[in-house]
Amino acid sequence: MNRREFLAAGVGLVGAAATAGTLGGAVWPALTREDLLPGEPPDVRLTPHAWQTAGDRLSFAVLGDNGSGGRQALAVAERMAFTYQTAPYGLVALLGDICYYGSLRRRFETVFRRPFGPLLDAGVGFELAIGNHDSGLHFSDDRLSAMEAELELLGTPGRYYTASHGPVDFFFLDSSIPGVYGPRASEQLDWLDDALASSANQWKVVAMHHPPYSSGQHGSTPGAQERLVPLLSRHRVDLVLSGHDHDYERVEPQQGVTYVVSGGGCKTTAVGRSRFTAVSERTLQFLHVEVVDAQLTAKCIRADGSVADRWTLRAREGT
Amino acid sequence: MDATRAGGDLSRRAADAVVAAGFAIAGFAVTIAPAVLMRSEVLNAGIGSLDDDVLAASAAVGAVEMVLAWRRVRNQERTATRRLHVWIASFNALVALALTASLLLLLVLYLFPDEHASLANRGFPVFALWAGVQAVAVVLAEATGWLFFSWLRPEAP
């Protein structure tokens, strides 16, 4: 082997090793994990305000981790529009991470208006629990200011807030604040304690991005079961909705509270089972929820329209 | 003596053809690899028909790459002073193809998601974007194969 042959062969072998590492360690996992391919927006015309609103009745959808703007996100959004046609709802509770790959301000059209155009045109309202990818991880005051400015795009009143819809009081939390369950958590948890105590509606539903209980890739959020769960139990919260893990999970009631992970809005990751798991599935999905008086009926609907899980709850008594 | 030489030539020609076919098939495999992996992910997510177009685009580009790689290797085998030069150049071309056929896709899709969404709004099919990016990877790989082969020739500067 002469010098050139040796060099050329060396370039090939080193390149092969580097390529194998790059493809297996970064490129292929990113291509398969992320929802990067563009898709067609839903082409559906919906009847505006087709849902029934009353003091004892509410229909709403729940969607988490939908912020890619890719074809999988659009497939779920299209299914939500189709579901509206047969079972109209006037509210979508977003569980955070509504914008990946850039700021919400820059990507608002792609990740929000484009997928949800038919629902927005029908007058459906949106509420948001902030996720860790919304406007990036906000570790500074500047970041918080930027995020609050961006939340105005959705008409969200603050980083954590309450909203009453029919018989349900919703409590939207910002679980993405660093150390939310640590020593610095007192402000939001104190606020939640007061808000739950003053809630007089029949149903209490808490929406937040990071799940207190999960068997998914991220797992149960550290500190949540020690700091948050006792508070939720003490105030007899009915249902806790979260995302973050890109799967669907329903947890056996914990101290009377039902916990659901609904994070399959555009990507999926593996999910297992734990001692607290009732149902778990890796799938693209959203939840459709109907509350009539003291009964709540929920369906986890996959992107292809099939039902992954169906369950009912009775409202807990007391405040 | 003549019969032995004729037999040796025959087995050498057969070996050359096998090598060329091997590189051509490997080129096809690394070209369709990202689409196959994405499709398996989509199947896991329960929407099996979503990536048919991308798989078809990769298969088409991969088929073109098979033909180009076969012709390049066979051409080089006819003119090479040493078979080793063909093998090194072809291996380097395959490495370049494996890297760029996936990495270019990731970069183009990840860095310009809103532009692609805007194109999709105007009816631009995603398989054209996918095939176009992989076609660039094929061109780069073929150029790599020829550059290394030329550089290894004894008369190269």
CATH no. for residue B46?
Answer: 1.20.120
Select, from the ranges A182-191, A212-221, B9-18, B121-130, the one with the highest average predicted confidence (pLDDT): A212-221
Is the residue at B131 inside a domain?
A: yes
Residue B40 domain flag: yes
Q: Is the pLDDT of residue A267 over 50?
A: yes
Q: Which of A269, A271, A267 is nearest to A37 (CA)?
A: A267
pLDDT score of A145: 63
At residue A122, the pLDDT reads: 96
Residues of A within 8 A of B84 (CB-CB) are 1, 5
Instruction: Among A9, A37, A110, select the one facing B109 at the smallest CB separation.
Output: A37
Contact B120 A38 (CB under 8 A): yes
Q: Which domain holds residue B75?
A: 2-152
Percent of chain A surpassing pLDDT 90? 70
The model's pTM is: 0.87
Query: What pLDDT is stored for residue A148 in this prediction?
Result: 63
What pLDDT, on a 0 to 100 scale, did the predictor assign at position A135?
54
Residue of B nearest to A71 (CA): B50
The reply to whether B68 falls in a domain is: yes
pLDDT at A139: 42
Contact A102 B110 (CB under 8 A): no
- Please write the tens of the pLDDT for every residue from A52-73: 878 899 999 999 999 999 989 9
Q: Nearest CA to A80 among A46, A36, A131, A52?
A: A46
Does A110 reach chain B within 8 Å, measured CB to CB? yes
What proportion of chain A, given as a percentage, has pLDDT over 70? 91
Res. A176 pLDDT band, cuts 50 70 90:
confident
Distant-in-sequence, close-in-space partners of A217: CB < 8 Å, separation ≥ 6: A245, A246, A247, A269, A270, A271
Q: How far is A104 from chain B (nearest CA, A)?
A: 12
Domains of chain A: 49-314 (3.60.21.10)
Banded pLDDT at B77 (limits 50, 70, 90): very high
Among residues A146, A127, A70, the alpha carbon closest in space to that of A101 is found at: A70
pLDDT at A147 over 70: no
**Residue at B78 is within a domain:** yes
Instruction: Beginning with the edge strand found earlier in the chain, give each strand of the sheet holding A285-292 in spatial order.
Output: A125-128, A91-94, A57-63, A285-292, A295-302, A307-314
Q: Has residue B130 been placed in a domain?
A: yes
Number of domains making up chain B: 1
Residues in chain A: 319
Whether the predicted pLDDT of B48 surpasses 70: no
Contacts of A283 in chain B (CB under 8 A): 45-46
pLDDT at A240 over 90: yes
Quick: pLDDT tens for A116-142. 999 999 999 999 888 877 655 444 455
Taking only the tens place, the pLDDT of each residue in A12-25 is: 999 999 999 999 99
Q: What is the pLDDT of residue A185?
A: 66
**Mean pLDDT, residues A70-99:** 95
At residue A292, does pLDDT exceed 50?
yes
First CA to last CA distance, chain A: 84
pLDDT above 60 for A144: no
Query: Touching check for B1 and chain A: CB below 8 Å?
Result: no
Q: Which residue has the higher pLDDT, B156 or A312?
A: A312
Count chain A–chain B contacts defined by CB atoms under 8 A.
127
For A239-263, what is the mean pLDDT?
97
pLDDT at B156 over 70: no
> CA end-to-end span of chain B, whole Å?
39
Which of A35-44, A160-169, A304-313, B98-107 is predicted least confidently?
A35-44
What integer pLDDT is reported at residue A208 of this predicted model? Answer: 94
Residues of A in contact with B88 (CB under 8 A): 5, 8-9, 12
Per DSSP (E only), the strands in A141-262 are 161-165, 168-172, 203-207, 239-242, 248-254, 257-262
Please check the confidence at residue A74 and state whether its pLDDT lies above 80. yes
Distance, in Å, from the CA atom of A209 to the CA atom of A149, rounded to the nearest integer, reads 19
B82 vs A contacts (CB less than 8 Å): 5
